Structure 1
Amino acid sequence: MYDYGIDWQEISGLSRLWKRTLLLVVLSVIGVGALWLTPLQGLERSTGLTALYAFRGIRTPPDSVVIVALDARSAQQLGVPRRPDLWPRRLHAAMIDGLYDSGAVAIGFDLLFEQEGDPQDDQALASALRRAGNVVLAERVVRHLIHAEEGELLAGMDRLIRPFDLLAEAAWVTAPFLLPKTLDGVFEFWTFPTGAGGNPSMPVRLYERWASHHGHQSDYPAGAGDRLALNLYGPFGTVPIISYADALKRFSAGTLLPEVAGKVVLVGLAEPNQSLQFDAYRTPYSTPDGVDINGVELAATAIANMAEGSSLIRLAGSSAFMLVCLWTAFLAVMWSVARADVAAVGSVIGVAAYGVAAVGLFTVVFVWPPLIFPMLVAPIVVAGIGMALKYRFARGRKRRLQQLIGNDERGGALSRLGRMLDTRPEGRVVRAVCLSSDIAAYTSRAEGMSPSDARDMLNQYLAEFLPIVESHGGDVTDLVGDSLMSLWVVGHDEAGACRSAVEAALQLNEKMNRIGGEGTLPTRFGLHLGDVFFGELGVGERLEIRPVGDVVNTASRVQSACKTLGVNMLASELVTRYLDAERVCAVGAFRFKGKSEPVPLSMLDLSDLPAELKHRFEAALALFLAEQIEEAKSAFAAISDQWPSYVPAHFFLKACVVPALRDGGTVVLTRA
């Protein structure tokens, strides 16, 4: 009746598991992918990058760039206007001469000399530019937007503003420094801005000069419109800064600046006072009091990044999207194959590991990976969808369990079996004691009954049967017609599970076959121990929960052998080995139909078995097992004469007479 003979765990369980896994993966990836295409992706620039910088901390810049700050304090000390573009240009000439004499490799002026000034000062500055021969003057790109009459934006036109001719011709080169702005600040710069005709930017020009001087191999994207992501070193002042007034004071005293020798020097606005900053940009290192990073500091950062090869490698576009999708799929697989609590803990551990790896990549190899989506968005989306699907699957499983064991108002069996399936929703292999039971002569009893009367008879029977099984820790897991299959999962106590199953069988036997009463029917019982798959079987929506495996089939065959031997209870040696010898009576090894190995069996119901009968039967059986057939025949015949109602003796007497019933000392049952 329970001879399924199919590896349903592999064929059915795993296929459904991976179908559910695929469903969760697809839904999660679609959900996260859709969010990736929204403004939420901007969190990677604002929150994600800020978090990476926060975990990494301040990084020491290379000894290749120095800033000379045009700040308010210098203006006060020099007695000049606060606006640096109004300072006398003879001061800049003196600055260039001093920096050149101090050994500066290249000098960049992040200050636009668009208009002519005092002729003598302009000439002095031009002369200083020619003497140095290594100064880059700033250009500016102004974009004019063209709108239609209705206000629609039609196009944008860039105009390059260069220093006036005298200074432009005296300088080594002129170049712009353009920073793409976002709502979250600046994160990169153009190496060859298209607005400047695709010519190199100021940081590139200065870096080329430095690289040539030091024999450094240049390596940067050189196409028009190419960008490099800035790898910031820290807040304001992390890149070395020298006050403009202090530098001039030292030069006027005939002292050089050894700290600029062999380096790139950038002269520009570097103001630590937030209220005085106007050439400053928001970055992850902007301080809470509003102090941003000045443009000249960002230019110095760009040069330093190229000098040490530390520009950020940003994972963006398709590469970032692919990483986020793969990470989402990994989390989805974990949520599919593990219990919700295990998956939640696994997600936390996985997210923490991802965070550590991301910070490591950012710190060591300067890779800027996505952070917010893998560590926040994806886990939330996967957990939400995973919980919803688990709830849906759990409701279906609960419904099938209720179909199996009834409403279970006390919640015992339903709770136990539900927990057993939590780790493997489709089912799992467990070691268990199987109790197969079958109502004796049920067909003749049901003959002539109406279907409703037969149903009522079975319901009354189950009302007596189920509480006994459950009170001993077992669960009725299958009901087919008048046959029931009950399981005791072994866990860590195989002996305890066997004893509990035997005690339940003995109590059922006493109730059904001795005491009788309303709801009782004569029943045969067979017990066996082994590995059983318990879980869902079926295709599509036609799923049932039931036990499957060789042990289930064998337990059913053991129960069928009760009818052959004329007894109510039989158990295999795997079960009875945990019982005291006086509680069992061996009946030999039986080879069942379709089975190659014999199964040693014992009787369990010994309450009506006289001690002498038990002793003489065991002695006769020993002769049978030793293949002393004639001696065994005589012994079984004597027992049958003295106890004519003892069916096992009659059966073995027949086995001694009929060779087809035995194979050596093994009983061969072709029907059971």
Structure 2
Amino acid sequence: MDKKPFGLLLASLLTMAALMLSPVRNLEQGAGLDLLYTLRGVRPPPAEVVIITLDSGSARALGQSERPERWPRHLHARLVEGLAARGARVIGFDILFERAREADTDRALATALQRAGNVVLMEGVTREGVPGPDGKVVAHVDRITRPLPLLADAAWASGPFLMPKTPDGVIEFWGFVPSIGDHPSLPMLMAQLMTAGSPAAISPAPDIRRRPLNLYGPLGTLNTIPYARALELIADPVAGEAAFRGKAVLVGFSEFNQSRQADIFHTPYSTADGLDLSGVELCGTALANLLDGSGLRRPGELDQLLAVLAWCAALTLLWQRARTGIAVGLSLALGAAWVIAAAWSFGALNLWLPVILPGIIAPLLSGALGLGLHLRANRRRERMLEKALELGLSRQGSEKLATLLAGHAEGRSVQGVCLCSDIEAYTSLSERMNPATTRETLNRYFSVFIPVIEAHGGHVMDIVGDSAMCLWLIDKHPADACRQARAAALELHQRLNEAPLDDDTALPTRFGLHLGPVFLGDVGSAGHRELRVVGDVVNTASRIQGANKPLGTRILASAEICRATGEAPGAGQARPLGRFLLAGKQSKLDLYEIRPRAIPVDAAQLFETARGELVSAPGSARERLTEVLTWCPGDGPTRFYLQRVINRLAGENLPDRDDCIVLDTK
């Protein structure tokens, strides 16, 4: 495995894991939650939750103090009686009735609470430090402050409402408070009473998880009625029934005037001018979440960590696979897609997924590391390309080879298809020309030869006199490289062997093709080095090319070439010629003639039958081969086998074996 991509992936995962385990993760409950609420917008609250606010407007209308805690309790008694009469299903007070007031007003409120039978009162919780022997605080204890016993006994129940504070405000509440004996909270008690006897009844069994609040919108999004207006509504049977029957009614302090706000909390819906959500609005939100089942769900810490790491790994692998421009575009698109998916999950499924780390930081992190990898790879590639140019390859033909050699200064083993070519009768041709004319002839020849090889994805690795060695690199599957090499050989055959007689660039040429492992690297000494491809496959391709001469063919390929392209023997342009032991080789090879056009079917069948009778029935083989020549008078392989049969019938001592033909000349 390439260590550099693995190192990039490891660095990306370790960095992201460190961020997930650091305070940076708190961005999710700050900027991340703000982003999700912004993308989702305001959502409609359930109609069964109503808030009655003790506000400054009601204070003026009722002639009361602007400090609601000083209002006489007979007003609350009047409100409770009216709400009960108008069919409110449950009534909650987000007001702590801790101390006794005027006796008659306290008794009036207690009587109203008892008659209603569905009122839940607020309890307070204070945290006190426990000092050690040295006076330093060593622990904390939460102490509960209950309502006035007269009122507590008259109410259906009482409970606190606690929201853990964070630097980004409040985002959760306790359904059951573990620090005071898993005591149910005010909204939990109201929800239990509201749903009692229904299929959706909320269990009283303690569940001490902190529950994320799923806010509905800014202050006033929940159905909010000023206290003075509520008294007017309960006085009207029709209007009161419409406003409160079957509802959960929560009474508490709330103010839309920022300068008069008290009991307020910062949330994602806090406004720029400082208008926060009131405690009673948040208590109503918690109650509404319990009733409509829309409380936010959040994956566990481990699940989030694994998901974000997997996402980061995918983004990093993208940078290892794609080009820079594509990787940048896909990273941005995938980051945006994560944010969109998280926003949809938040709004449609009430599922709170991390958004800042995977949607923004992960693409930036993988992008920064990926760009560094790409820049280093480009620098290595340029150095290797310069080296390839120094070693004699053209820029067009050497870029892929140089890339393959990146990080392998001494070269490397690769899989490839080799094509070896040789001009027929070149020796006698060069004898008839002076050196300058020979050079000009070869230059014209290679001006046709080299572009064809490169157009089919090949690389001309070596030219020695009239012979060229070409290479097609195999990336994953050999079929494509084999098809390209065969197509190049057929096009060169057409342009060099079937060209008009007056074409001075065309010289009759033979080709041999083979595939397998080769070593690609620079060869030579310190003073002279050239980029070359070496190995047994190269030598074998040269021997296959040499077999064209005795067989009377122009293009020969090994069985490996034909098998790689998925062709059955004899199919299309690949004609099986038999098994051969080539000069200087110990392994036998099945050779195929690559033809631009197949020979007639009848002739091909006669040829195959004759090959099978070469040893067992040479006389019959001679007759069949002679008949093939009537179909194809110039067919080289038929003439080769016919001569072999004639020699065998004449009693000549041939080097052939029972299972192969031996060619002992190069």
TM-score, normalization: structure 2? Answer: 0.70
1:346-397 alpha-carbon deviations (Å, 9 max, x no partner)? 4344434433433333233322122222212222222333343444455556
Residues 161, 187 of structure 2: 8 Å contact kept: yes
In structure 1, what residue type is equivalent to 2:213? Answer: L
- 1:92 deviation in Å? 1.1
> Which letter maps to 1:379?
P
Inter-partner Cα distance in structure 1 for 2:352 and 2:531: 49
Q: Distance in 2 between matches of 1:630 and 1:214?
A: 96
Decide whether the 8 Å contact of 2:414 with 2:517 is kept in 1. yes
Aligned match for 1:235, one of 189, 204, 218: 218
* Match of residue 599 from structure 1: 592
State whether structure 2 residue 252 is matched by structure 1 residue 262.
no
Q: Look up the match of 2:72.
A: 88
Aligned residues: 570
Structure 1 residues 385 and 60, CA gap change in structure 2 (3 angstroms)? same
Partner of 1:336: 320
C-alpha separation between the residues in 1 aligned to 2:462 and 2:136? Answer: 75
Measure the CA separation in 2 of the matches of 1:71 and 1:157: 34
CA shift, 1:272, in A, is: 2.2
Q: In the superposition, relative to structure 1, how do residues 105 and 663 fare at CA in structure 2: closer, same or farther (>3 Å)?
A: same
Conserved in 2, the CA contact under 8 Å of 1:109 and 1:268? yes
User: Which residue in the other structure is 1:289 paired with?
Assistant: 273
Contact 2:421 2:512 in 1 (8 A): no
Give, in whole Å, the separation in 2 of the partners of 1:372 and 1:599. Answer: 62
Q: Flag the 1:602–1:231 CA change in 2: closer, same or farther, 3 A.
A: closer
1:187 aligns with one of 156, 167, 171: 171
1:115 equivalenced with 2:99 (yes/no) = yes
Q: What is the distance in 2 between the residues matched to 1:534 and 1:219?
A: 73
Aligned partners of 2:496 and 2:508 also within 8 Å: no
Q: 1:180 and 1:406, CA in 2 relative to 1: closer, same or farther beyond 3 A?
A: same
2:544 is aligned to: 558
One-letter amino acid of the structure 2 residue matched with residue 229 of structure 1: P
Deviations for 1:55-81, whole angstroms, at most 9, x for unmatched residues? Answer: 333222223211111122212212212
Please state if 1:669 is matched with 2:663.
yes
CA shift at 1:468, angstroms?
8.5
Q: 1:172 aligns with which of 137, 153, 156?
A: 156
- SS of the residue aligned with 1:158? strand
Partner of 1:446: none
Q: Does 1:388 align with 2:372?
A: yes
RMSD of aligned Cα (Å): 5.2
- List aligned pairs for 1:61-76, cutoff 5 A: 61-76=45-60
Q: Is the 8 A contact 1:144 1:157 kept in 2?
A: yes
2:647 to 649, 657, 667: 657
Cα distance in structure 2, aligned partners of 1:361 and 1:60: 17
Whether contact under 8 Å (1:437, 1:524) holds in the other structure is: no
Aligned-partner Cα distance in 2 for 1:272–1:547:
82
State the shift of 1:415 in Å: 3.4
1:245 corresponds to which of 218, 228, 236: 228
Check the 8 A contact 1:558/1:570 in 2, yes or no.
Answer: no
Amino acid of the structure 2 residue aligned with 1:313:
R
Bigger relative contact order, structure 1 or 2, given CA contacts below 8 A and separation 6+?
1
Distance of 1:497 and 1:208 partners within structure 2: 81
Q: Secondary structure at the match of 1:235?
A: coil
Letter in 1 for 2:593: P
Residue 116 of structure 1 aligns to a residue whose secondary structure is coil
Letter in 2 for 1:380: L
Could you say what secondary structure the match of 1:363 adopts? helix
Q: Mean Cα displacement is larger for which, 77-86 or 324-333?
A: 324-333
- Kept after mapping to 2: 8 A contact 1:532/1:547: no
SS in structure 1 of the partner of residue 43 of structure 2: coil
- When residues 670 and 367 of structure 1 are mapped into structure 2, their CA distance, relative to the original with a 3 A threshold, is farther
Aligned-partner SS, 1:597: strand
Cα distance in 2 for partners of 1:525, 1:152 equals: 98
TM-score (norm 1): 0.69
Report deviation, 1:571.
3.4
Residue 30 of structure 2 aligns to a residue in which SS? helix
Change (3 A) 1:77 1:602: closer
Deviation by residue 1:404-443 (Cα, 9 ceiling, x = unmatched)? 5646697333335568999xxx99989x7x5426999xxx
Per-residue CA shift, 1:466-513, capped at 9, x if unaligned?
99876666364656999963247889988984477569999xxxxxxx
What are the residue-to-residue correspondences of 1:9-28 with 2, within 5 Å?
A: 16=1, 22-28=6-12
The one-letter amino acid paired with 2:220 is: G
1:313 aligns with 2:297: yes
SS in 2 for 1:62: coil
CA distance in 2, matches of 1:331, 1:193: 42
Rate the CA distance shift 1:394–1:657 in 2: closer, same or farther, 3 A.
farther
* Contact in 1 for aligned 2:125/2:142 (Cα 8 Å): yes
Relative to structure 1, the CA distance from residue 553 to residue 205 in structure 2 (aligned partners, 3 Å threshold; closer, same or farther) is farther
Q: Rate the CA distance shift 1:602–1:331 in 2: closer, same or farther, 3 A.
A: closer
- Provide, for residues 551-578 of structure 1, a one-character-per-residue CA deviation record: whole Å limited to 9, x for no partner: 867633333437878x9x9534899xxx
Alpha-carbon distance in 2 for matches of 1:169, 1:321: 48
1:41 aligns with 2:36: no
In structure 1, the residue matched to 2:433 is none
**Residue identity in the other structure for 2:259:** S
Cα 1:533–1:241, aligned 2, differ >3 Å: closer, same or farther? farther
Task: Give the direction of change, closer, same or farther, for the CA distance of 1:477–1:41 in structure 2 (3 Å limit).
Answer: farther
SS in 1 for 2:270: coil
Shift in alpha-carbon separation, 1:411–1:318, aligned structure 2, 3 A: same
Q: Matched residues in 2 for 1:535 and 1:73: separation?
A: 90
The answer as to whether partners of 2:52 and 2:252 remain within 8 angstroms in 1 is yes
- Match of 1:368, SS state, is coil
Q: How does 1:122-521 map to 2 (within 5 A)?
A: 122-145=106-129, 154-219=138-203, 222-224=206-208, 226-252=209-235, 256-393=240-377, 406=390, 411-415=395-399, 417=401, 434-436=418-420, 474=454, 476=459, 478=461, 485-487=469-471, 497-498=488-489
- Secondary structure of the 2:50 match is strand
Seq. identity, % = 35
Q: Check whether the contact 2:452–2:488 (CA below 8 A) recurs between aligned residues.
A: no
- Where does structure 2 lack aligned partners over 5 or more consecutive residues? 407-411, 425-441, 474-479, 498-503, 522-529, 562-574, 582-586, 597-606, 612-619, 630-638
CA drift of 1:339 comes to: 3.7
Q: Distance in 2 between matches of 1:534 and 1:88?
A: 98
Deviations 1:208-250 (A, max 9, x none): 11111545331587244x3111122222222111111101123
2:277 alignment partner AA: I
Residue 25 of structure 2: SS of its match in structure 1? helix
**Which residue is 2:82 aligned to?**
98
Could you give the per-residue CA deviations for residues 9-45 of structure 1, whole angstroms, max 9, x where no partner exists?
A: xxxxxxx36x666544333221110111122101111
Task: Report the Cα distance in structure 1 between the residues aligned to 2:155 and 2:403, rounded to whole angstroms.
Answer: 80
Alpha carbons of 1:601 and 1:323: their partners in 2 closer, same or farther (altered >3 Å)?
closer
